[in-house]
């Protein structure tokens, strides 16, 4: 099979080819290196490549019998540049770490390699993942391949662009306030934020953090499920990690179960939304009625989400980066400084109030999902915006006074601990992709993937096929 033919296949098909020994990890790496050489200079999605390391790992893996090569069987993938890979430059998108090379890999990377994943690149991210526009002072901006004048969103922007352009079959991402879901929406691919603890990772300064999670990205629901099966893991070093349940997420996506009742909300009661985006998402959600599913307009009460998220995010930034502000104030971008300083100013009573609000949001979400199988909303409130804009500062006449609040439709769901997925659901009049956020009950990844697969089949957008970057300069 030619390099181009390999690039055009789904991840599930490629893994089947690997397990049937109809291709090899080395052939896949050759195909990717060729594609990266053609595409990456245009979009700047994979700033650090490690093909020599990848080929060494591939040769080692090929010494094992096929049945012992793990769930991924030698499938290459990029790791987001916030996560350590031993011996590979890892910058976190920050000049402070521009030349940092870690000696050990993150728990997540070690597990993926045990499952037959082969790391060949680091994907671009904004500084410390702060901001839903992937640019930084180390590598510059990552461009949206649907229109290279537009943002790829973030913070997993490099991963989303690599997938959309065929520079990866699957990719690792992470999500705090939408960092998987926003770039998936902007780039026309699928991104899944799992329940906290589903994917073990190195704990941060706040070791029981349930806001930030690691998750899979791919071009289809089935391929996301394939990667989640490989990523899901318990590790004693991660105190919130969950044991494997024994269920196959890939099986859930391949054999979707029927749904009874689902909900749609254009705004969750917390944010303005671009009317065209809202209508595209509403039409997609109502496609479920073709399967005999009841669709209703409803959402849980998330009115406390803004204060709870702002406060808890600021606590995390102060804990993780407060010392950096003291040591390197001139090397941090303004948005990161704003978040750290906000965290350092918080009182104990501020934090207690936010925790009480979060607890109530979780309770309301649990009650909501006792009545609905799924909740659907826009994944982002606007189509891809000009890459020169640091963030969205206005939507439908409403001005935002910070770089976070345009993400409320995603971060409000983060607070619930529910798994959420961004599914391509249509295109604007200018041909830019729009994502539908689909949410299931906490720890309900199988139900989420099953429902998303049903809708993906109805919509039939053909997202398994990668695109070549284009420059449209839409108005």
CA 276 remoteness from chain centre: 23
For residue 287, give the nearest of 463, 456, 433, 420 by alpha carbon: 456
Q: Which one of 94, 151, 155, 414 is the catalytic residue?
A: 155
**The pair of three-digit structure tokens given for residue 286, joined into one six-digit string:** 């109502």
Outline where DSSP puts E strands in 28-132: 48-49, 76-80, 118-123
For residue 32, give the nearest of 216, 168, 172 by alpha carbon: 168
For residue 49, give the nearest of 76, 24, 18, 12 by alpha carbon: 76
Q: Which one of 151, 156, 174, 179 is the catalytic residue?
A: 179
Look up 460 and say whether it is catalytic.
Answer: no
Q: Please give the Cα distance from 63 to 126 (Å, whole number).
A: 38
Do 432 and 147 touch, CB atoms closer than 8 A? yes
Look up 174 and say whether it is catalytic.
Answer: no
Residue 214 phi/psi, 5° resolution?
A: -105, 145
Q: Which one of 10, 12, 80, 122 is the catalytic residue?
A: 80
Look up 370 and say whether it is catalytic.
Answer: no
Sign, CA torsion 76/80/84/89: positive
CA 284 remoteness from chain centre: 21
Q: Please give the Cα distance from 259 to 369 (Å, whole number).
A: 13
Do 95 and 135 touch, CB atoms closer than 8 A? no
Outline where DSSP puts E strands in 261-327: 261-264, 294-297
Q: Please give the Cα distance from 80 to 155 (Å, whole number).
A: 9
Active-site residues, by number, are: 80, 155, 179
């Amino acid at each position: 099979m030619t390099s181009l033919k390999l690039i055009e296949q789904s991840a599930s098909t490629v893994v089947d080819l690997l397990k049937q020994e109809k291709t090899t990890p080395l052939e896949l790496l050759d195909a990717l290196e060729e594609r990266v050489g053609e595409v990456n200079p245009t979009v700047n999605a994979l700033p650090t490549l490690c093909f020599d390391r990848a080929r060494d790992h591939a040769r080692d893996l090929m010494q094992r019998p096929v049945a012992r090569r793990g769930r991924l069987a030698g499938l290459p993938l990029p790791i987001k540049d916030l996560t350590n890979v031993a011996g590979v430059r890892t910058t976190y998108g920050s000049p402070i770490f521009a030349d940092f090379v870690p000696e050990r890999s993150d728990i997540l990377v070690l597990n993926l390699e045990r499952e037959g994943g082969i790391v060949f690149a680091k994907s671009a991210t904004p500084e410390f993942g702060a901001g839903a526009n992937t640019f930084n002072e180390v590598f510059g901006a990552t461009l949206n391949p649907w229109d290279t004048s537009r943002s790829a969103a973030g913070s997993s922007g490099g991963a989303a662009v690599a997938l959309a352009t065929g520079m990866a079959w699957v990719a690792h991402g992470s999500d705090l306030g939408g960092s998987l879901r926003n770039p998936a929406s902007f780039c026309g691919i699928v991104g899944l934020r799992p329940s906290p603890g589903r994917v073990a990772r190195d704990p941060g300064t706040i070791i029981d953090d349930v806001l930030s999670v690691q998750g899979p990205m791919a071009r289809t629901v089935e391929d996301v499920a394939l990667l989640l099966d490989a990523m899901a893991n318990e590790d004693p070093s991660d105190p919130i990690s969950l044991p494997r349940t024994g269920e196959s997420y890939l099986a859930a996506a391949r054999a979707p179960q029927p749904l009874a009742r689902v909900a749609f909300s254009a705004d969750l009661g917390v944010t303005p939304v671009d009317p065209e985006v809202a209508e595209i998402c509403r039409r997609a959600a109502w496609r479920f009625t073709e399967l005999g599913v009841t669709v209703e307009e409803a959402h849980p009460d998330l009115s406390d989400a803004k204060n709870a998220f702002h406060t808890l995010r600021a606590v995390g930034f102060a804990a993780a980066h407060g010392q950096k502000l003291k040591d390197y104030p001139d090397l941090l971008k303004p948005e990161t400084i704003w978040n750290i300083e906000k965290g350092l100013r918080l009182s104990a009573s501020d934090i207690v109030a936010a925790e009480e609000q979060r607890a109530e949001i979780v309770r309301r979400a649990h009650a909501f999902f006792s009545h609905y199988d799924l909740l659907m909303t826009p994944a982002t409130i606007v189509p891809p915006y000009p890459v020169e804009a640091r963030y969205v500062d206005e939507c439908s006449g409403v001005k935002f006074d910070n770089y976070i609040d345009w993400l409320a439709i995603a971060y409000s769901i983060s607070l619930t601990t529910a798994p959420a997925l961004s599914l391509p659901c249509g295109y604007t009049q200018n041909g830019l992709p729009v994502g539908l956020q689909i949410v299931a009950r906490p720890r309900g990844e199988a139900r989420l993937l099953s429902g998303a697969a049903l809708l993906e089949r109805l919509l039939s957008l053909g997202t398994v096929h990668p695109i070549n970057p284009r420059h449209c300069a839409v108005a």
